[in-house]
Amino acid sequence: MIKLILTDLDGTFLNSKGDYNKEDFSNILSELTKKNIAFGAVTGKQTERVEELFGDLADKIWILGDSASRIKHAGKFEFESLIPNSKGLDIISKLEGIQADQTIIACTTQAAVIADRRQLLDGELVRRSYATINVVKDFSEITDDFVKITVFDRKKRCFDTFEKIKGEQDNFYIVASEAAWIDITSKGIHKGTTVQKLQEILAVSSDETMAFGDGYNDFELLNQAQESYAMANAFDEVKTHAKHIAPPNDENGVLQVIKEKVLN
């Protein structure tokens, strides 16, 4: 019996416009609640941005946000793992030396921080995933520890950039989820380990978990669920990590599967 449903957001739960069928989801969530089935969003998006996306329903779901470095439910953080400030600034410096025209998003518990030289080019894109954004002249101004560090490269060189920083994996968890994005979190912190933490909190096993994903950063998420679904629009390699294929995100594939397989 499924007791926990988890989904990535971009490319999975959200359509290509970054939206979802709110009325349909509200009705589905109500039915899941009646059956004591928990629902969670596992995403690179800032936790506060996820709360914006789900509005009044945000307190009723589990949010594994900021590349799963934090767990929040009903307004309370149940878990978070931070990168020490000095380590974060060090890898930011290395990233700046690799591609000067990429966008680095340095996320603290207070805000997503971007450098002012990137504000005009990629500021609006950053706002799609982050609710609270600060702009600095130089990242060295940041004194807080980091929730995560993200790279956006509109020239899609992130797989090459990953090769140049993969030696840092002794200190961080680093994943290029696609050619335009890299996420960096604390060592050992990724969607799989944070899902394990949530499963412990809820006393739910992987056999009782259903999960949906589409990107390279969803491997560990899918591996933590007996009923794992890659979206039809997912990368081919992602599909090899899943037990099933769901309809594409632009056809509300996640909601379709939940209605057919869980609520029927």
70/143 same-domain check: no
Q: How far apart are CA 203 and CA 165, in angstroms?
A: 37
195/70 same-domain check: yes
Domain enclosing residue 232, as ranges: 4-80+189-262
Structure confidence by residue, pLDDT tens digits, 46-62: 999 999 999 999 999 99
Is residue 213 a contact partner of residue 233, using CB atoms and an 8 Å limit? no
CATH number of domain containing 138: 3.30.1240.10
Confidence of residue 4 (pLDDT cuts 50, 70, 90): very high
Confidence of residue 122 (pLDDT cuts 50, 70, 90): low
Q: Is the pLDDT of residue 118 over 70?
A: no
Q: Is the pLDDT of residue 99 over 90?
A: no
Report which of residues 133 and 220 the model is more confident about: 220
Q: Is the pLDDT of residue 82 over 70?
A: yes
CATH number of domain containing 257: 3.40.50.1000
13/32 same-domain check: yes
Confidence of residue 117 (pLDDT cuts 50, 70, 90): low
Give the residue from 147, 165, 186 where a domain finishes: 186
Give the residue from 154, 186, 218 where a domain finishes: 186
Give the residue from 186, 209, 228 where a domain finishes: 186
